[in-house]
Amino acid sequence: MDKTKRNAVIAGNWKMNKTPCETTALINEMKPLVAGADCKVVLCVPFIDIPAAVEAAKGSNIEIGAENVHFKASGAYTGEISAQMLVESGVKYVVIGHSERRQYFGETDQTVNLRTLAAIQAGLTAIVCVGETLEQRELGYTETLLKFQTKMALTNVKAEDLNKIIIAYEPVWAIGTGVTASAQQADEGNGFVREAIAEVYGKDVADTVTIQYGGSMNAGNADELVAKINVDGGLIGGASLKAEDFSVIVKAASK
Ligand code: 13P
């Protein structure tokens, strides 16, 4: 397998952190630290921070993403944001199906699929999250679950649109816990995701899809994780809120 066929993408997921003013300050601090990176650099920020983030990132190699998107184009969906609204605001990426949304906000494999279709139709790149809980891992369901979530998320996605898809393997037990998957576990999980894509679209296509690892990735462990053949960068929570730590991860993926 040739890793050079794929883009490494380091994406921050700020979750519910940073006000618009803090957004401007943090991106201004990050810009010089990540300039010239040999990987894509993305910051997925709260909706309200998007204008400040787009403005602050102008002229730099940082691209801006959102953390969710609704699947309808418009209508009576109070509190929701459409893909076209994001596009017009300068957003290029959107996180879909994060485990926190699955756990706390009723996100299902079906709504993940609908959001994914809406995002790519609008020209956004979807960062689709999959991952097993500790209980599912201990019961031996990791492979089955990752393949099922991946295939469900990609239902009706055409092969030619896979360049607008990134899958992030985020074991639920590793998110925000400080417990990182070992490089071996991350590589294996990402490998299951790639196999699922190969089962539907063929191996050649699957080899071109960017698959990130996420879950307590930090400045200390990024090197080892992103060196793995199936790990094409990362989706970073806590460490993306610190300019210095985030830039170390970006540098690890640029090697
Ligand atoms: P942490 O890096 O804080 O564990 O979060 C990972 C994550 O959920 C990224 O989407």
Could you tell me what percent of the chain has a pLDDT over 90?
95
pTM: 0.98
97 lines ligand 1 (CB under 6 A): no
pLDDT tens-digit profile of 121-174? Answer: 999 999 999 999 999 999 999 999 999 999 999 999 999 999 999 999 999 999
Q: Is the pLDDT of residue 2 over 80?
A: no
Asked whether residue 75 carries a pLDDT value surpassing 90, the answer given is: yes
More confident residue, 1 or 87: 87
Q: Measured between alpha carbons, how far apart are the two ends of the chain, in Å?
A: 18
Q: Does ligand 1 have an atom closer than 6 angstroms to the CB of 131?
A: no
**Position 5 pLDDT exceeds 90:** no
For residue 25, give both structure tokens. Answer: 């300050």
Please count the residues of the chain. Answer: 255
Could you tell me the two tokens for 82? 């459409």
Mean residue pLDDT across the chain: 97
Residue range 181-189: mean pLDDT, rounded: 97
What's the pLDDT at 240? Answer: 98
Please give the pLDDT value at position 91.
Answer: 98
3-state SS, residue 148: helix
CA distance 36 to 244: 15
* Ligand 1 atom showing the smallest separation from residue 178 Cα: 4
The answer on pLDDT for 191 being more than 80 is yes
Q: Do residues 82 and 69 make contact, with C-beta atoms less than 8 angstroms apart?
A: yes
Residue 103 has pLDDT above 80, yes or no: yes
Establish whether residue 236 lines the binding site of ligand 1, counting it when its CB lies within 6 angstroms of any ligand atom.
Answer: yes
Per-residue exposure over 146-170, b if at least 16 CB sit within 10 Å of its own CB, e if not: bbebbbbbbeebeeeebebbbbbbb
Active-site pick, 63, 67, 107, 170: 170
Residue 77's pLDDT band (boundaries 50, 70, 90)?
Answer: very high
> For position 242, what pLDDT does the model report?
98
Q: What is the DSSP letter of 182?
A: P
CA of 75 from ligand 1 middle (Å) equals 32
Q: Indicate the top mutation candidate among 216, 221, 226 to test ligand 1's pocket, ranked by most ligand atoms within 8 A of CB.
A: 216
pLDDT tens string 203-246: 999 999 999 999 999 999 999 999 999 999 999 999 999 999 99
Confidence of residue 175 (pLDDT cuts 50, 70, 90): very high
pLDDT at 3 (0 to 100):
82
Active-site annotation holder among 98, 100, 107, 132: 98
In this structure, the residue with its CA closest to atom 9 of ligand 1 is 237
Percent of the chain topping pLDDT 70: 100
- pLDDT tens-digit readout, 78-89: 999 999 999 999
For ligand 1, say whether the CB of 123 is within 6 Å of any of its atoms.
Answer: no
Is 98 tagged catalytic? yes
